[in-house]
Amino acid sequence: MSSPTADAPGTPGAPGDLTRLTAARLVEGYAAREFTPVEVVRAVLERSEEIQPAVNAFVRIEAEAALRQAGESAERWRRGEPAGLLDGVPVTVKDILLLRGGPTLRGSWTVSADGPWDEDAPSVARLREHGAVFTARTTTPEFGWKGVTDSPRHGATGNPYDPARTAGGSSGGSAAAVALGAGPLSLGTDGGGSVRIPASFCGIFALKPTYGRVPLYPASAYGTLAHVGPMTRDARDAALLMDVITGPDPRDWSQLGPVPGSFRDGLRGGVAGLRVAYSPDLGGRPEDAPEPAPEVAKAVRRAVEVLAELGAEVEEADPGLPDAVESFHTLWFSGAARVTQHLDAEGRALLDPGLREACEQGASRSALDYLAAVDVRMAMGRLMGVFHTRYDLLVTPTLPLTAFELGHEVPPGAPYRRWTGWTPYTHPFNMTQQPAASVPCGTDGAGLPVGVQLVGARHADALVLRAAHALYEAGVADIPPPPAPAAGAGAGAGPGAVRPAGS
């Protein structure tokens, strides 16, 4: 059996290391009989156990079930009858989405592990139909409520580049897993930046699709702010994953209609002739929101210059969005209040103190407050709809800063209390339901990743992926890989964490 060739810049491992390979490359290798799903899944499980003590990426590692699934996949490939587009590819799933056979704990002591746990979320069901192998459940803050990943039940998730810093959130476990080679694909959720924030901090790719493009069930307590999205090594893998998880599901009343064509086919064509608006700081952000750090601004500007060199028509322009953070808080905190409404005083005492405070704020908002926030949201959507008649893409920093110290909701010394203060470029596009992706575009002086955000009009997911793919092809995302984590160097599993199966 020949050794595979690594094809994913910025991923861990030595040449020939199966954990380096993208999902697309794994499928090619299975078809060519270069290696088997069992070999790949074993390597990924070993990597998962290796990184867990340092970054705490997982709630649970499902070694026995994953190896069984891998064996079944290997037999299908031996017969030349793969089940689908991702047969034998290791996938991790954020512990917010249902995955049958085990509990979905949502980072909370208020969720019982008792079963039956016999249902898959729509995106998980589509992956299962295509033969994907589920290796682990990834960490999340309690009910995915904030932009960093720590919870009373499962502890904190450290950054692959420095485990003493945050991986971001709320899909921080997924981002850390992908960055460190514990599977090329992960499913995350994004209600205010929750796939894009950790993607930026951890140096991977993530897409928040147009709302409804990926079916979701059960419906999120955060309503139509919440999206399911791919977290991957590159845009090509994200397109492959989107071709699977956008399949219809009758349980989601708000899903969009069938996708016209393949997202993978849509990667071709480059960016020549695209009208690109570059907004260095997305005017309209809250007054106390941080300006982009100089190294962030420099890396993002360079990515924009590459788009211009590739033929895009780039203009510095701002959409003029209002400061809508309080409207977002009304919608977000009301959702948090709703998801915890059933708890008695004893249950509330178990909550993350910050979440408990957010729930109290949400419960104090009236129906008229909520509808006023919806009005703001509709106005923002109209504004962005008109903006995209002039521009195909909007480009901003994903975040104004790089990863900060672990154990904090906001950077130490910041003038704001909530995570929305340092994420002024992400949550506006949950309000407008647009597709938005984060692409690695450099590192700061400490070697921490920087992300550039690409935003498209509603339903323009394929265009966002195409532009992101062009940046990957041009080498913009070629950042140094994270160092091999040292056990005990950072987050660890934390008090009360659920340890990996078999550990």
Q: Which of 94, 123, 146, 220 is catalytic?
A: 94
CB 200 within 8 A of CB 233: no
DSSP state letters, 106-161? TT-TTS---S------HHHHHHHHTT-EEEEEEP-SGGG-SSS-EETTTEE-EETT
Please report, as a single letter, which amino acid is at residue 410.
V
Nearest CA to 188 among 260, 239, 138, 153?
138
- CB neighbours (10 Å) of residue 64? 11
Q: Cα–Cα distance between 309 and 472 in angstroms, integer? A: 14
Q: Cα–Cα distance between 294 and 161 in angstroms, integer? A: 20
Q: Which of 48, 194, 220, 334 is catalytic?
A: 194
CA angle 316, 322, 328 (to 5 degrees): 125
Pairing of strands 449-456, 436-443: antiparallel
Pair of tokens at residue 219 = 């419906």
> Is the four-CA dihedral 68, 74, 75, 80 of positive or negative sign?
positive
Q: Which of 48, 170, 171, 186 is catalytic?
A: 170
Residue 170 falls in the annotated catalytic set: yes
**Per-residue DSSP letter, 209:** P
Residue 334 falls in the annotated catalytic set: no
Residues 6+ apart with CB under 8 A from 443: 203, 295, 299, 402, 449, 450, 479, 480
The residues that are catalytic are: 94, 170, 194
